[in-house]
Homo-oligomer: A and B are copies of this chain.
Amino acid sequence: MYEMHFAVPMAAAVLNTINTRLDAKAVAAILRHSQAKVLFVDYEYVRLANGALQIVADAGAPVPPVAVIDDIDRPTGVRLGVGELEYEALVSDGDPAAELPSLADEWDAVTLNYTSGTTSAPKGVVYSHRGAYLNTTSQLLSWGVGTEPVYLWTLPMFHCNGWTLTWGMAARGGVNVCIRENRAADVYRAISDHGVTHMCCAPVVLNILLDGIGEARRLAAPVHVLTGGAPPTAALLDRVERVGFKVTHGYGLTEATGPALACEWRHEWDLLPLPERSRLKARQGVSVLSLADTNVVDNNTMASVPRDGKSVGEIVLRGSSIMKGYLDNPEENDKAFKGGWFMTGDVGVMHPDGYIEVKDRSKDVIISGGENICSKEVEEVLLQHQAVADAAVVAMAHPHWGETPCAFLVASNRAAGVCEDEVIAFCRERMARFMSPRKVVVVDALPRNALGKVDKVKLRDAVRSLVLPKATSRL
């Protein structure tokens, strides 16, 4: 996938990396919507790809040629079928003297990143060469990445092209260290074997790293960690910094080509006590350089809220590194922008020092293990179950994943009821495991506000008193 970040744009094509945690149905929807011209598949995901391609074929849609990327050191020989391509052979067959097409316009598309893929109109976020370049240099600057970093890929490259650090590592002459899974033992081994200096991850991964070690463990040299998706808690910061991780907190979203804000640290804060430092570090920060502007506004008038750390408004972003738009999705594009600003849907405050802090996330997003889950998508699947008349999904705290979906259901037939385990199993068949609710609550009716909309604030309040089923509270 790393090589693809260079090879595909050099061929004047658009790279669409696919989240490996999605199920075959979601992958099929992406392949169809993106009109993929060729599919490169890591040997570990051949089965998933096969399932997805079958769905594409069954729908009568064009099936792209497939190139399997085998393990170079220990080839598995796995192939999709007769006549398929093998990656290394394909590369060997390439013409080293081939003339590369030059880029006509730096605003041309470079990559495509889907924020979801199961609904009928997937949201494919299109980045430009310009936006990718500017965001890459901004990330390097705001995170202070010097030359020759040794970067550990704990953050998947399919998330905003690895927060643009795929290109960033090349720009800084970095070493890329790849591991298949973020198991604590694998991460610590990679750090010590390769002298890792930098890594990115959601706070959930930091939790995993702390679970895997005794309190006495200390890294031989500091490892800089850029974390986002959820603010790191004071307790987490305290523990990981004792181990030797130097945490920088960022905020972003796929539509902003990854991190859009970084909580740039001020030297004077080093002298503050930990709770105060954690409070400051939990703020999402100031805009990275590639953004012309960031603001917190009243989303009706678009006027700035006072810089008092109290007045809430919607966080809005603009600049070259904001996506070109959603692919073939005029309706969502209309909703996403207002007066030249990208509307994040996140609610926040502006502090007097210009740092932004998120106060409430977009209502429809649940972040589980660093992955965004659109509650609407989960609701749509639940409503396909014949015993379900009405459904609403909100985030529930999870000790490992940060959050997990919790479903509130109304039974079609009150007397017959709804079997909770059966609904969970139904969801798992129809969507990626991380997206499926781990908790289901049957209610007589969903709370609704004056406009008839489901009152998710009330549901989120109700979730706080619920307990996760034992079997699902583990990883």
B144 and A141 form a contact (CB under 8 A): no
B173 and A264 form a contact (CB under 8 A): yes
A319 to chain B, nearest CB (A): 12
Measured between beta carbons, the chain B residues less than 8 angstroms from A138 are: 137
A140 touches which one: B141, B172, B267 (CB < 8 A)?
B141
A289 touches which one: B137, B264, B266, B267 (CB < 8 A)?
B137
Most B C-beta atoms less than 10 A away, residue of A140, A141, A264, A265: A141
A398 to chain B, nearest CB (A): 34
A455 sits at the interface (CB 8 A): no
Contact with B along A249-274 (1 / 0, CB 8 A): 00000000000000011110000000
A101 sits at the interface (CB 8 A): no
Give bound CA distance, A144 to B264, whole Å: 16
In the complex, the chain B residue whose C-beta lies closest to that of A286 is B173
A149 to chain B, nearest CB (A): 11
A171 sits at the interface (CB 8 A): yes
Interface majority SS (helix, strand, loop, mixed), chain A: loop
The 13 sampled A-B contact pairs (Cβ below 8 Å) are A137-B137, A137-B289, A140-B141, A141-B141, A141-B171, A144-B146, A144-B147, A147-B266, A148-B266, A148-B267, A171-B289, A173-B264, A173-B266
**Oligomer copy total:** 2
Interface residues of A, count at CB 8 A: 16
Contact with B along A273-294 (1 / 0, CB 8 A): 0000000000000000100000
B264 and A147 form a contact (CB under 8 A): yes
Give bound CA distance, A173 to B147, whole Å: 21
Measured between beta carbons, the chain B residues less than 8 angstroms from A141 are: 137, 140-141, 171-172
Measured between beta carbons, the chain B residues less than 8 angstroms from A264 are: 147, 173
Measured between beta carbons, the chain B residues less than 8 angstroms from A144 are: 146-147
